[in-house]
Amino acid sequence: MDGHTRPEVMPRAHAPARDPAALDRLALALGPGPFAAVLLFVSPEADRLAVQAGLAAGAFGGAPVIGCTTAGEISAEGYAEGEIVAVGLPAATFAAEVLEIDLTHIDGQGLIGRMIRARAALADRHPVWQGEFAFLMVDGLSIREDELTAALGPGLGPVPLFGGSAGDGLRFGQTFVLSGGRFRQGAAVLAMIRTACLASVFSLDHLVPTDRRMVVTGADPARRVVHQINAEPAAREYARLLGKDPAQLTAFTFAAHPVVVRIGGRHHVRAIQRMAPNGDLVFFSAIDEGLVLTLAEPMDMADHLDAALTELSADARPSAILACDCLLRRIEAQEKQRFGAVSSVLRAHGVAGFSTYGEQWNSMHVNQTMTGVALWAPEAGP
């Protein structure tokens, strides 16, 4: 643990993903518990079958274990690669109800009922505790995040939600969610949390909209593919607006020059994942014909992140921060040689979590953001 995060609030540990004894090391570092839940953010380099076997053998004292594969980890050292990060939610200050969700059939009414019952059960068990939040992890290649968050929205009530889409590094091959002792595809896991800690869910980005706009004039919403922008081939028109050759478009270009849409008085990123061989643009989140996209330009990520996390400490420094950070932010930090600076900010503020293929915030699926929850020990609330 670093000096800014109190072990009794949210203990965490990290170990090399390829270490056969990784789970034993993590369990030892977290301590004996008991835990209301343990979160595992697992590098795609890990042997998933070995992790499942370790869980079946009773790692973490039988506590519910949920997690996902990542596009990078956030440990006590800041940005990390090739690791498993474990986060414990001690039963002394947390209670959890875990809901597994099948993305092949999203039953909105059924989900709402399950969420209401879970929240009521938590309130019955801990009527004095006032902190509440919901934490979601979802298959990052399912293309179902927008539908899922919309379905979850009506069941949240006053409970704020944040989450992240499971990753597969930069490969975009296979993404998995961990629940019930198994890694699953086409699935999501929702943890309804009640806590004695004061909890504040947040979403932040470092992007400033410009006056350069474009209209999606041809798209395949089901696959999140844009064929045309301003009635021109999508990649070519996007590149023209940037003053670039389409052949120059890379993951860094998309990270450094995102597009945003205005919803409910706030801009939200619609991040571009990649350019298809035919010149289409494939997006990380919902896209449709007629959508007006605005080019955005980034502020310095390290400076912005430090200021935003410091603002959370206006009255009292958080005892712990759990966060989901978009892969595109990590890519931008690397390409702009700010990786070390951003990592230092994460380390200084005691952030734990993972890099994602997309983030969830309340009833929305978003991109190129950091979503998370700041926690204050019961005696140290702001």
pLDDT tens track for 259-270: 998 877 778 888
Burial class (CB in 10 A: 0-12, 13-18, 19+), 277: exposed
Looking at per-residue pLDDT, the higher value among 8 and 312 belongs to 312
Other Cβ atoms within 10 Å of 8 Cβ, number: 14
Give tens-digit pLDDT for 107-119: 999 999 999 999 9
Cβ neighbours of residue 196 closer than 8 Å, sequence gap 6 or more: 92, 93, 94, 126, 128, 129, 131, 378
What would the mean pLDDT of 161-171 be, rounded to a whole number?
96
The stretch 168-176 carries a mean pLDDT of 95
Cis peptide before 34 (omega within 30 of 0): yes
Closest CA to 363 of 279, 263, 245, 254: 263
Whether the pLDDT of residue 299 is over 50: the answer is yes
Angstrom distance (rounded) from CA 13 to CA 88? 9
Q: How confident is the model at residue 6 (pLDDT cuts 50, 70, 90)?
A: very low
**Low-confidence winner among 207-211, 302-306, 346-350 (lowest mean pLDDT):** 207-211
pLDDT at position 313 is: 82
The answer to whether the CB of 61 falls within 8 A of the CB of 32 is yes
d(CA 172, CA 71) in angstroms, rounded, equals 9
**More confident of the two residues 319 and 62:** 319
User: How many other CB atoms are there within 10 angstroms of residue 303's CB atom?
Assistant: 14
Distance, in Å, from the CA atom of 327 to the CA atom of 36, rounded to the nearest integer, reads 29
pLDDT over 90 percentage in the chain: 85
List, in sequence order, the alpha helices (H) in 12-92: 22-30, 48-56
CB 231 within 8 A of CB 217: yes
* 3-state SS string for 304-316: HHHHHHHHHCCCC
CA atoms within 13 A on the CB side of 138: 30
Task: Give 4's pLDDT tier (boundaries 50, 70, 90).
Answer: very low
Question: First-to-last CA distance in the chain?
Answer: 22
What is the mean predicted confidence (pLDDT) over 359-374? 94
Q: Is the pLDDT of residue 32 over 90?
A: no
- Cα separation, 187 vs 176, in Å, equals 8
Determine the pLDDT at residue 380: 53
Q: What is the pLDDT of residue 382?
A: 52
pLDDT recorded at residue 44? 97
In this predicted structure, what is the pLDDT of residue 158?
95
For the cut 60, the answer to whether the pLDDT of residue 2 exceeds it is: no
**CB–CB of 207/267 below 8 Å?**
yes
- C-beta separation of 250 from 238 below 8 A: no
Q: Is the pLDDT of residue 284 over 70?
A: yes
Computed on alpha carbons and rounded to an integer, the radius of gyration of the chain in Å comes to 20
Tokens read off for 146: 């927008």
Distance CA(110)–CA(96), nearest Å, equals 19
Mean pLDDT of the chain: 93
Over pLDDT 70: what percentage of the chain?
97
Q: Is 173 exposed, middle or buried (0-12, 13-18, 19+ CB in 10 A)?
A: exposed
Three-state secondary-structure class, residue 355: strand
CB burial class (10 A; 0-12, 13-18, 19+) of residue 116?
Answer: middle
> Regarding predicted confidence, which is higher, 188 or 381?
188
Q: Where are the beta strands (DSSP E) in 43-82?
A: 65-69, 73-75, 78-80
Please, which pLDDT band fits residue 251 given cuts at 50, 70 and 90?
confident
pLDDT value of residue 324: 98
CA distance 101 to 163: 14
